[in-house]
Amino acid sequence: MKRTAGKLADGREIIYFDDTPEAPPRSAVDTRDLPRSHPLSEVRRDPLTGEWVAMAAHRQTRTYKPPADLCPLCPSTPGRPTEIPESDYDVVVFENRFPSFAQGVPELPSTVDGMPMVARAAGRGYCEVVCFTSDHDKSFGALAPSRVRTVVDVWADRTAALNALPGVAQVFPFENRGEEIGVTLHHPHGQVYGYPFVTPKTERMLAVAAEYRDEHGRPLMGDVLAAERAAGTRVVGTSEHWTAFVPAAARWPVEVHVVPHRQVPDLPALTDAERDDFAHFYLEVLHRLDALYQRPLPYIAAWHQAPVAVGRDLSWLHLEVFSVLRAPDKLKYLAGSESGMGVWINDATPEQIAERLRATA
């Protein structure tokens, strides 16, 4: 893989990741007249739950469902410059023009309107866009294994880089796919967030993992993985280094966890063999998901990895892929119980979901 860094017209960083070291030089200049952005992100702690909530009002003006010929993630062409100055690329990463979190955000009062129970702080973090291919009409599942391998290396590169930034507490690579999920740019891409706090879900998972290790002396995910592989009823597929299974308490109508057989805290800790194996195995998982309803499945693919400074010995890297599609033409809406109380109700059992995914072979 070849890595080349540059700057966009407004000073944002852009990095090209080419599949091979023999790739041509990346020296195109961003010719747009862009003003420097001044995001005003902030975070406030909910006094009733203790959870941080991000406020990013400047994102209201972000690009929304442009036609294909105006896609900002496609390569630039004569007379139509985009976010990527080059005329072609393999994988590219750049700072989000409309970030939820950013460096250089101004300091704020430590509380809201003098309410000491509502903590407030600058939303100081990082948000990047990861374009998986220059082909607007492709999908992640249609990439070659060699390109997926490049993307894995990119995720690892960005995790290590953002982990080192001041104020970043947790790095989260993810992909949103499909309008039903809320995607507003159809070009195949994902994002990487550098949060200024440890996310509520990760905090809860670490607390449960700590309780389990204190009681049993073993990592929780390791025992879950061993039990799922032994039972087999929820296993969707397995490879030399990875297993994909529907979790026994699945929340979503389609939900798969892709878990390495070895405990590692994050993507940078994966070996070359584990990365190579994932590149082939994950494509198999995605093909099964798309075959489930004989249509491209809208999904979120979310990497769970260790925070920067806490729980690294408790964390077990894994990828969670889930969808809101409960039938070819029906969506799972988060209604009263899920949205109001956080109590999930699934319309299918995990065993049924896994059986349907295995049958897609």
Say if residues 50 and 32 touch (Cβ distance below 8 Å). Answer: no
- pLDDT at site 39: 85
The reply to whether 209 and 135 lie within a common domain is no
The reply to whether 101 and 164 lie within a common domain is yes
Please say which residue of 181, 197, 213 terminates a domain: 197
The reply to whether 222 and 327 lie within a common domain is yes
Task: Indicate the pLDDT class of residue 69, thresholds 50, 70 and 90.
Answer: confident
pLDDT digits (tens, 9 = 90+) for 270-282: 999 999 999 999 9
- pLDDT at site 184: 87
Which residues neighbour 112 within 8 Å (Cβ) at sequence distance 6 or greater? 44, 118, 120
d(CA 144, CA 19): 11
The answer, yes or no, to whether residue 269 has pLDDT greater than 70, is yes
Query: What is the CATH classification number for the domain harbouring 208?
Result: 3.30.428.10
* For range 223-244, the mean pLDDT: 98
d(CA 19, CA 35): 32
The answer, yes or no, to whether residue 66 has pLDDT greater than 90, is no
Sheet architecture: strand order including 111-112 = 52-55, 42-45, 115-122, 111-112
User: Which domain range does residue 17 map to?
Assistant: 2-197
The reply to whether 60 and 84 lie within a common domain is yes
Q: Whole-number mean pLDDT of the chain?
A: 95
* For range 332-359, the mean pLDDT: 95
Q: Do the annotations mark residue 187 as ligand-binding? A: yes
pLDDT-wise least confident of 96-105, 131-140, 291-300: 96-105
Please say which residue of 141, 165, 197 terminates a domain: 197
- pLDDT at site 67: 84
d(CA 6, CA 306): 29
The reply to whether 251 and 301 lie within a common domain is yes
Coil, strand or helix: which one is 79? coil
Task: Indicate the pLDDT class of residue 57, thresholds 50, 70 and 90.
Answer: confident
Task: Indicate the pLDDT class of residue 297, thresholds 50, 70 and 90.
Answer: very high
Coil, strand or helix: which one is 234? coil
Structure tokens at 39: 């995001």
- pLDDT at site 261: 98
- pLDDT at site 280: 98
The reply to whether 91 and 235 lie within a common domain is no
- pLDDT at site 61: 64
The reply to whether 42 and 135 lie within a common domain is yes
The reply to whether 170 and 299 lie within a common domain is no
pLDDT-wise least confident of 56-65, 198-207, 232-241, 267-276: 56-65
The answer, yes or no, to whether residue 110 has pLDDT greater than 90, is yes
122 closest CA partner among 60, 54, 198? 54
Task: Indicate the pLDDT class of residue 182, thresholds 50, 70 and 90.
Answer: confident
The reply to whether 182 and 308 lie within a common domain is no
Please say which residue of 145, 164, 197 terminates a domain: 197
- pLDDT at site 36: 87
Q: Do the annotations mark residue 136 as ligand-binding? A: yes
* Degrees, nearest 5: CA angle 55-185-171: 50
- pLDDT at site 64: 64
Task: Indicate the pLDDT class of residue 104, thresholds 50, 70 and 90.
Answer: confident
Q: Do the annotations mark residue 127 as ligand-binding? A: no
The model's pTM is 0.96
Task: Indicate the pLDDT class of residue 60, thresholds 50, 70 and 90.
Answer: low
Buried b (16+ CB within 10 A) or exposed e, 321-332: bbbbbbeeeeeb
The answer, yes or no, to whether residue 286 has pLDDT greater than 90, is yes
* For range 58-65, the mean pLDDT: 68
The reply to whether 21 and 168 lie within a common domain is yes
- pLDDT at site 56: 87
Q: Which residues are catalytic?
A: 189
299 closest CA partner among 140, 149, 155? 140
Instruction: State how many domains the chain has.
Output: 2
pLDDT-wise least confident of 45-59, 139-153, 297-311: 45-59
The reply to whether 148 and 266 lie within a common domain is no
d(CA 302, CA 319): 6
For the chain, what percent of residues have pLDDT higher than 70? Answer: 99
* Degrees, nearest 5: CA angle 94-308-263: 105
The answer, yes or no, to whether residue 290 has pLDDT greater than 80, is yes
Buried b (16+ CB within 10 A) or exposed e, 157-193: bbbebbbeeebbbbbbbbbbbbeebebebbbbbbbbb
The reply to whether 41 and 101 lie within a common domain is yes
pLDDT digits (tens, 9 = 90+) for 36-49: 888 889 999 999 99
Neighbours of 344 (CB within 10 A): 13
- pLDDT at site 113: 93
The answer, yes or no, to whether residue 128 has pLDDT greater than 80, is yes
Structure tokens at 159: 């995790």
